[in-house]
Structure 1
């Protein structure tokens, strides 16, 4: 039998296994499957079936001794962790096709780094999972780290057969009481059966210290969505289940006299509050360095502006403000810190919060005006704009927000201010780069526009493990174009990077720029990023 036939057969089996019919309710008092009686996994199978984590293969059969495929195991693990399938706009693998029952499950797990491929563009969804592979996936999903650094640290009689890349995971799952050997052997190359997988998953979902976390609502912290121009339309069109709990419409801009232009929309504020969303309008300076200098350095103008902020908050019953002053003169560093301190004091007196947008510490005149520690000492939150790594006009093309660049600047910031005050801004846009007339040019694209572009030109797309995003290259009219894509996978990995520092939340520039799959993936990241897998009390046997 050739490989294609082999995978096709397993795909058919899996389709039956995870079809909705596989979760049909059994008659009262009757076990869900006729072939589970007497199995060592009987209780685990029944419990997981009730939780809709595993299903049958048809005709009231569970097939406990049948091997588990990679697609099945990804789906089971995703469900065990209370996570949702994600229909990624950019497929991760050529052999995980849209329309396949496991498309969303595989991508939901891939986006969080729970599973990976078997090659740059292959997942092999129908290939059976070995016991050592199951240990690696489980350890990765649960962020477990074993004490054994190699096979010599394992006590199994067949330890020499365990691959070096799996040794620490085998040790970690054993230490956690999740996987055991048999007669002193681990049997690493043997495929894991459906019954064994059920026992493993049951031990995960019932682990003391984990079970309550799976059932609880996640603490999302601040999830801020900027509304760019047509704020009312953007908010009303925003997915009801979007992770955003705070909106920041771009309503106000300062003037040289210490006043503001623009106005709020009371109907939108009322609707946001009705939906349980906080409202922190953005107050900008239009990148006007000279005007900002006048306001910050003239006590009368500065005091007038602070009073204006208080009036805005009171008049519109706002929950806070989001201050976005950019292109500030480095000489105004102390003046800006003082202004933020006074603004925060006045807003706090009215029960409102203040968040301040800052660029990464680039050690240039663009970031020099921001005294991060002083700003954090005054304001409630510091919003790190985690984008524009390569900006419009950059001499070299590149990513708007690569994973290592974001990680580096979050790490740098949390060394200066409390991590809980950091809100990491993530981009709902990217750029299409090319060289024209001897210079680098770029075109801004929302994620929806990016996805349409990729569908239209069908470029060569590859995942860059180092950058944590897809890169796409295509030619149009004899000109080479490059896109460093942002999507569910890249954004989720950046979210998880921020979560690893225990930051206070995230912000998204801007609502309306995303594709629908992004919300499902970010919702998973919020839940998964909040799990603390060190909180286990006893190993289940």
Structure 2
């Protein structure tokens, strides 16, 4: 698996985190498919199997992935941290009361939070809450250090109706990098619950976009 290593060291009350993002995925093992519910015809199959075989995502069981199931905030944090190669350190303090050190999401959530990639709701992270497509756009833009768009008008009619200008820019950033084409040619469905299949495809496309070092073209 190819990686380009760079280190971001942020000290917050003696907490240090290292970000090591993937910039390419091994394709040799991507045909191994333990999931009975991920058929070749599934539009997310390529991303799911590639990321699974590269150790980035996991199934809901040993033989199921449940691509149509809504993705949770905890799952998204875990998979994103795996994709970035980001881990916390052993003596980090719990930031969120609902993500104790015994949680499987603890290292990922704590590390991502300490470098500003994810935020909580006060002293809660709500790992079991569902994630929206717009929320993931922010996580990917910040996590993969994408060149953020300055555009606040997109090709998506439903995005243009949003009042949060930053959210529009995060979504346009994904369009600029070819990470998303939307749910239709003119809609992104920013408030739609993200599925586990969509999460895999977004992550796969982000890794590939970063690997290709695409030239970002702003949309006028």
Q: Specify the TM-score bucket, using the shorter chain as the normaliser.
A: 0.7 to 0.9
Structure 2 counterpart of 1:73: 76
- CA offsets, 1:369-405, max 9 Å, x none? xxxxxxxxxxxxxxxxxxxxxxxxxxxxxxxxxxxxx
- After the TM superposition, which residues 239-254 of structure 1 pair with which residues of structure 2 at under 5 Å, given as runs? none
**Corresponding position of 1:46:** 49
Change (3 A) 1:29 1:102: closer
Looking at structure 2, the residues matched to 171 and 178 of structure 1 have their Cα atoms a distance apart, in angstroms, of 10
TM-score (norm. length: structure 2) = 0.76
Partner of 2:17: none
Q: Is the 8 A contact 2:47 2:204 kept in 1?
A: yes
Q: Which has the larger Rg?
A: 1
**Residue equivalent to 1:536:** 214
Does structure 2 retain, via aligned residues, the 8 Å contact 1:88–1:107?
Answer: no
State the shift of 1:537 in Å. Answer: 4.5
Residue of 99, 102, 105 corresponding to 1:102 = 105
Counterpart in 2 of 1:192? 194
- Report the Cα distance in structure 1 between the residues aligned to 2:92 and 2:178, rounded to whole angstroms: 38
3-state SS of paired residue (1:80): helix
- The one of 54, 60, 82 aligned to 1:57: 60
What pairs with 1:392-431 in structure 2 (closer than 5 Å)? Answer: none
Identify the residue that residue 83 of structure 1 maps to in structure 2.
86
For structure 2, the 5+ residue unaligned runs are 1-29
Q: CA deviation at 1:87?
A: 4.1
CA distance in 2, matches of 1:168, 1:187: 15
Q: Report the CA distance shift for 1:133/1:206 in structure 2 as closer, same or farther (over 3 A).
A: same
1:49 aligns to what SS in structure 2? Answer: helix
Aligned CA distance change for structure 1 residues 114 and 88 (closer, same or farther; 3 Å):
farther
1:193/1:178 CA distance change after superposition, 3 Å: same
Alignment of 1:285-364 (within 5 A): none
**Aligned residue for 2:154?**
154
Could you say which residue in structure 1 is the equivalent of 2:96? Answer: 93
Conservation of the 8 A alpha-carbon contact between 1:88 and 1:104 = no
Check the 8 A contact 1:179/1:200 in 2, yes or no.
yes
Deviation at 1:111, TM superposition (A): 1.7
Please give the TM-score of this superposition, normalised by the length of structure 1.
Answer: 0.32
Separation in structure 2 between the aligned mates of residue 162 and residue 73 of structure 1, nearest angstrom:
23
| Contact 1:135 1:179 (8 Å CA) reproduced | no
Q: Distance in 1 between matches of 2:31 and 2:145?
A: 38
- Contact 1:132-1:162 within 8 A present in 2 as well: no
**How many residues are matched?**
185
1:205 CA displacement: 2.0
Question: For residues 100 and 198 of structure 2, what CA distance do their matches in structure 1 show?
Answer: 28
Q: Which structure 1 segments of 5+ residues have no match?
A: 1-27, 213-534
Deviation of the 1:174 alpha carbon: 1.2
Is 1:113 paired with 2:116? Answer: yes
